[in-house]
A and B are shown apart, each in its own frame.
Chain A
Amino acid sequence: AQKITQTQPGMFVQEKEAVTLDCTYDTSDQSYGLFWYKQPSSGEMIFLIYQGSYDEQNATEGRYSLNFQKARKSANLVISASQLGDSAMYFCAMRNTGGFKTIFGAGTRLFVKA
Chain B
Amino acid sequence: EAQVTQNPRYLITVTGKKLTVTCSQNMNHEYMSWYRQDPGLGLRQIYYSMNVEVTDKGDVPEGYKVSRKEKRNFPLILESPSPNQTSLYFCASSPYYEQYFGPGTRLTVT
Contact = CB atoms under 8 A, between A and B. Distances in A.
A107 B42 contact: yes
A19 interface: no
Interface stretch (B17-25, B67-75, B79-87, B93-101): B93-101
A35 B73 CA distance: 24
B41 interface: yes
Nearest to A46: B101
Interface residues on A, range: 20 to 34
- Majority SS at the chain B contact face: strand
B100 A102 contact: no
Interface residues on B, range: 20 to 34
A106 B50 contact: no
A106 B103 contact: no
A99 B50 contact: yes
Contact of A100 (B40, B42, B48): B48
Interface in A45-104: 45-47, 50, 91, 93, 99-104
B45 A105 contact: no
